[in-house]
Amino acid sequence: MRNRHNSLYIPLVFCLLVLSTILSGCEKDITVDLPEAEEQIVVEGYITPGAPPIVFISRTAPFFAPVDSQTLLQYTIKDALVTVSDGSQTDTLVAPFASAGYLYTTSNMTGEVGKTYSLQIKLPDGRELSSVTSIPVPVSLDSVWFRLIPENDSLGWAWARISDPPQAGNCFRWFAKRLGKDNDYLAPLGSVSDDRFYNGLSFDFAATRGSLPNSTAPDDNNEEAGLFKSGDTIAVRFCSITQDAFRFWRSAESQVTSNGNPFGAPASLKSNITGGIGIWEGYSFVLDTIYAQ
C-alpha cells in the first residue's frame, strides 16, 4: 500500500512542478490604458427642519489623480448660480467662505417638515443641474440602550426599538457620536434601511459605531473598532429620509464595502441629480442619548 501510494504522489508533485514552470515561462507584462472618464459635476445638498439649505458642488477627478487638501480645491466650483424654491419662495444661495467656495447656503430660508424643495444650479459654462426633494415627517425611537457583546466586559453596540408607521415607504438613517470623543455625528456602514420588510412592525435593532474614512485613531484600528465602550455617552440622531436618499446612501455604502475587492460587483451611485451625480436630500431627525453602563 505504501509503495502504491508513493507512486501516485510523486507524479502529482512532478506535474505541479512542470505546470508551474510552464506558467512562469508564459508571464508577460501588460499595460492597460484606462480611458479617461467624462468629467461630471458632483452635488451634495441637504435641507432639514429649522436649518438653511447647504449645497456642496465639485467636479469629478481622474482616477489616478493625487488626493490631498490642495488638489481637492482644484475640483471645487466657486461661481455657480444656485437657487432653492419651496413653491412660494425662491432664494439664491451664496458661498460665504471664499476659500471653500463649493459650499453654498442662505440665511433667508429654512426647512419645514412636509414641504418640497427644488434645487437649480447654473454653471458659467452653460451647464444646468436640478433636483427635487422633500422633508419627511420624523419618526421617533421608542427606546435606546447599550448592550455588551457576548463574552466582553466593556465593549458593545447601541440598541434601539422602533415602531414603524403603518404607511409604507418609510426610510431611515442612523447617526451617533460619543460626547468628548467624536467631533460630529458618524454613520456606520449599514446606516440606512427602508420598511419594505417591516412596514408597521415594532422591533429592536443594533447599530455599530461609525468612523471617519481612513481614520488613524487607535480605537478605529484595534479591538474597539465599530464598538461603543462602557462609560461612553452616545448622542443619537435618527433620521427619516426620502426613498431617493435611501437608494443613494445604500449604493454609496455598497461601493465602500467593495473598494479594493477584485470580486466585488460594480455599483453605480443612485443619484437624484439631473445633469450630474450626487444627492439633494431633505430629512428630519429625532435626538436621543444613551449612557453606556
Q: Residue type for 250, please?
A: R
Q: Residue type for 252, please?
A: A
Distance separating the N- and C-terminal Cα atoms of the chain: 64
Domains of the chain, by residue range, sit at: 41-134, 141-261+285-291
Kindly list the distances between the CA atom of residue 197 and the CA atoms of 36, 164, 247, 262, in Å, as whole numbers in the listed order. 41, 11, 16, 31
Just give the CATH number of 41-134.
2.60.40
pLDDT per residue as tens, the chain (293 positions): 444 444 333 444 444 444 444 455 555 666 656 566 688 999 999 999 999 999 999 988 776 666 666 666 778 888 899 999 999 999 999 987 655 557 899 999 999 999 999 999 999 999 999 999 999 999 999 999 999 999 999 999 999 999 999 999 999 999 999 999 999 999 999 999 999 999 999 999 999 999 998 899 999 999 999 999 999 999 999 999 999 999 999 999 988 877 655 454 555 789 999 999 999 999 999 999 999 99
State phi, psi for 19 to the nearest 5 degrees: -65, -40
State phi, psi for 88 to the nearest 5 degrees: -120, -20
pTM of the complete model? 0.83
Find how far residue 251's CA is from the centre of its chain.
Answer: 8
Euclidean distance between CA atoms 205 and 9, whole angstroms: 54
Measured CA angle at 114 (ends 108, 117), to 5 deg: 50
Q: Residue type for 173, please?
A: R
